[in-house]
Amino acid sequence: MKTRITELLNIQHPIIQGGMHYVGFAELASAVSNAGGLGIITGLTQKTPKDLAKEIARCHEMTDKPFGVNLTFLPTVAAPDYPGYIDAIIDGGIKIVETAGRNPQPYMEQLKKADIKVIHKCTSVRHSLKAEAIGCDAVSVDGFECGGHPGEDDMPNMILLPRAAEELKIPFVASGGMADARSLVASLAMGADGMNMGTRFMATKEAPCHERVKEAIINATELDTRLVMRPLRNTERVLNNSAVEKLLEKEKELGSNIKFEDIMDEVAGVYPKVMLDGEMEAGAWSCGMVVGLINDIPSCKELIDGIMSEADSLITKRLEGMLSA
């Protein structure tokens, strides 16, 4: 399949693995890229720019296909060493960066000078248009269904994707709620040039997260995610557990007086405990509603090959068949 995204990124299939904190290590990124998609290393999971440089080098040893790095611009006062991370990306020969969170404008000139393609992740049409205006090469349009931060507009992809298609000139991928060939074909029909998946890629053989995380994903239904941190305007979609229930109780009790410090126990330092040690009740961790569609743990190649061959038959048999009936 050839789309503006496969052409732009020089990949075989229009499928991207979104950056995921403490999941997007070289093992997963290289497996996705080797399977013909675009794997992405999560920059800030690496504690220092030097660590990121090592992770990039490790990934180069595991694949000769293109892979990217995610840089999430957090709304924090004590910002990470972003210039250092960007130097590591450029020096590591990375040609694709997925940015997310705040506007990547301060770093665009440097990234473009290094001939890097920038895909900015956005949860609204207005942010997507801003990304286009500042020179991003593509956007990842993240609907309300998504695992992680869906923003505050609560716009599901059935509306958001066609609206993005109406307004954008640059290519975009559909993100949030994507799991299979049905997701891909529907996204293409709505004007996207491919899809980005997070939660689905966690339940793969190569994802370097704890087996209990994969089991939790297999066992969960589409009813099992919750939105946390809404009162702080930093909404995150997470899988429900006892810590999330406690957090939601606090949000209810404290109302608009709630501060980040009140929920530190449930949200700070959680990822290594959950993803590496399998402490499933340690706190809130991102997970999309798409969890209800995930029932197996394939290899990345099995997953991607399956999606592409089923997409072919959906288009050429089911849809064509309806036309010629």
**49: helix, strand or coil:** helix
Q: Note whether 14 binds ligand FMN by CB under 6 A.
A: no
Q: Are 194 and 15 in contact (CB under 8 A)?
A: yes
Q: Which is nearer to ligand FMN, 30 or 175 (CB)?
A: 175
Contact 97, 71 (CB under 8 A): yes
Q: Which of these ranges, 25-33, 50-58, 191-199, 250-258, lies near ligand FMN under the rule CB under 6 A? A: 191-199
Residue 275 and residue 202 in contact, taking contact as beta carbons nearer than 8 Å = no
Given 33, 42, 123, 235, the residue binding ligand FMN (CB under 6 A): 42
Determine if 136 is a binding residue for ligand FMN (CB under 6 A). Answer: no
Q: Does 119 bind ligand FMN (CB under 6 A)?
A: no
Among 82, 78, 22, which residue's Cα sits nearest to residue 55? 22
Q: Does 39 bind ligand FMN (CB under 6 A)?
A: no
The DSSP code for 172 is: E
Place of tokens 């557990």: 241
Contacts (Cβ under 8 Å, ≥6 apart) of 175: 18, 121, 140, 141, 142, 143, 146, 195, 196, 197, 198
Neighbours of 191 (CB within 10 A): 17
Residue carrying structure tokens 């590496």: 276
Q: According to the binding rule CB under 6 A, does residue 263 interact with ligand FMN?
A: no
Under the binding rule (CB under 6 A), the answer on residue 248 touching ligand FMN is: no
Establish if 6 lies at the interface with ligand FMN (CB under 6 A): no
**x/- site string to ligand FMN, residues 265 to 294, per CB under 6 A?**
--------------------xxxx-x----
Residue 18: CB minimum distance to ligand FMN, A: 2
Q: Which is nearer to ligand FMN, 65 or 149 (CB)?
A: 149
Taking CB under 6 A as the rule, does residue 206 contact ligand FMN?
A: no
Contacts of 222 (CB under 8 A, 6+ apart): 289, 290, 291, 292, 293
For residue 76, how far is the Cα from the chain centroid? 20
Q: Is 147 in the site for ligand FMN (CB under 6 A)?
A: yes
Rounded least distance, CB 84 to ligand FMN, Å = 18
207 contributes a contact to ligand FMN by CB under 6 A: no
220 is a contact residue toward ligand FMN (CB under 6 A): no
C-beta of 87: minimal distance to ligand FMN in Å? 20
Give the list of residues 6+ apart from residue 98 with CB closer than 8 angstroms, or none. Answer: 16, 18, 19, 40, 68, 69, 70, 71, 119, 120, 121, 140
The 69-98 contact track toward ligand FMN, x by CB under 6 A, reads -x-x--------------------------
For position 19 contacting ligand FMN by CB under 6 A, the verdict is yes
Binding site for ligand FMN (CB under 6 A): 18-21, 23, 42, 70, 72, 100, 121, 142, 145-148, 175-178, 196-200, 285-288, 290
